[in-house]
């Protein structure tokens, strides 16, 4: 065993997003620990299959079984003290991970800080990093990572609850739409000033345009319940709202951060059976085979729902079934 301490990580707010910080003391020299976090062969033993282009401006790529961290640019390479790089995991907004190595009398303290995470994914990242750091210290066989992850989730869910991240915050408009009650959604909308998410979900293109004119960054924002405006417009099926968001640069491949629906906008359109929304996305360059967090493709969803028109459209744009 090379790990001396195994403190629980700490979740915190990071503006409208979140971060998690760990401090671990390892029985390694700084040089040994630096190799463990930068050498591809060693990274493969405790984190993921890796490609590392060393030095500031270089890149790190990590290939996990459930997805890949694609080409994060190295922001700081101060051997053997500080490593920081962009975290660009497939379908997620960009975040930043930082490792600090501090020599101690009994080894080296590792401070890992992962910031700019989505709040709905912070709990999972905290549990995941905790298990990976256990593997780095030799107290966990990497093959037991999933079991350890599941054990740790309640610990970090409790932290998220204390920070208020798991409280229901869905608007009455979207709550009604999610349960299929359009009349109740319209009634709730009459009582409120629609934000970008409710405007997208209702297909109110005029209101949506006003909001995007005032703040263009809203096109790439995420709601408290984990959806981008484009996901919500695809759910509603408003072709006008979908086209407006695509024209304003809304991300076509971003995964929703809702725990129950980590899908891309095209996956949402497929789920809701919205053919015109899907057509707009495909013509704008959306990946017809872009998978959700469960590795499901839009064509699988369309066929499972018996939507032949949508399945045909997807195939025309290159969609295939796995295998």
Complete DSSP assignment for 162-194: HTTTTS----HHHHHHHTT-HHHHHHHHHTS--
Domains and CATH numbers, the chain: 10-162 (3.30.530.20), 172-316 (1.25.40.20)
Q: How confident is the model at residue 277 (pLDDT cuts 50, 70, 90)?
A: very high
**Whole-number pLDDT of residue 214:** 96
Quick one: DSSP state of residue 262? -
Mean residue pLDDT across the chain: 91
Instruction: List pLDDT tens digits, range 229-266.
Output: 999 999 999 999 999 999 999 999 999 987 667 899 99
Q: What's the average model confidence in pLDDT over 206-210?
A: 96
pTM of the predicted structure, to 2 decimals: 0.57
Q: What is the pLDDT of residues 41-84, one digit of tens each?
A: 999 999 999 999 999 999 999 998 766 777 799 999 999 999 99
pLDDT of residue 323: 75
Lookup result for tokens 């997208």: 200
Q: Average the pLDDT over 151-166 and give the result.
A: 86
Peptide bond preceding 104: is omega within 30 degrees of 0, i.e. cis?
A: no
């Amino acid at each position: 065993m090379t790990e001396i301490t195994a403190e629980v990580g700490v979740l915190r707010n990071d503006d409208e997003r979140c971060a998690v910080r760990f401090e671990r003391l390892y029985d390694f020299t700084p040089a040994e620990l630096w190799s463990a976090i930068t050498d591809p062969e060693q990274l493969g033993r405790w984190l993921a299959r890796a490609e590392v282009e060393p030095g500031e401006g270089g890149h790190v790529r990590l290939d996990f079984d459930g997805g890949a961290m694609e080409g994060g640019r190295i922001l700081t390479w101060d051997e053997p003290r500080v490593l920081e790089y962009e975290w660009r995991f497939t379908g997620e907004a960009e975040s930043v991970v930082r490792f600090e190595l501090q020599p101690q009398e009994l080894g080296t303290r590792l401070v890992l800080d992962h910031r700019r995470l989505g709040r709905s994914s912070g709990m999972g990242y905290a549990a995941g990093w905790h298990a990976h750091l256990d593997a780095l210290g030799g107290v966990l066989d990497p093959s037991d990572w999933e079991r350890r992850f599941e054990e740790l989730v309640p610990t970090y869910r409790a932290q998220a609850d204390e920070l208020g991240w798991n409280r229901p915050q869905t608007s009455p408009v979207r709550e009604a739409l999610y349960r299929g009650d359009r009349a109740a959604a319209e009634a709730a909308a009459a009582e409120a000033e629609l934000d970008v998410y409710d405007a997208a979900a209702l297909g109110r293109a005029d209101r949506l345009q006003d909001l995007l004119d005032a703040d263009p960054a809203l096109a790439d924002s995420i709601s408290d319940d984990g959806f981008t405006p484009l996901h919500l417009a695809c759910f509603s099926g408003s072709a006008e709202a979908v086209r407006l968001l695509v024209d304003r640069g809304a991300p076509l491949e971003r995964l929703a951060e809702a725990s129950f629906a980590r899908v891309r906008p095209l996956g949402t359109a497929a789920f809701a059976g919205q053919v015109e929304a899907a057509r707009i996305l495909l013509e704008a360059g959306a990946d017809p085979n872009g998978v959700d967090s469960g590795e499901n493709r839009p064509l699988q969803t369309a066929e499972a729902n018996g939507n032949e028109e949508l399945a045909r459209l997807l195939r025309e744009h290159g969609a295939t079934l796995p295998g």
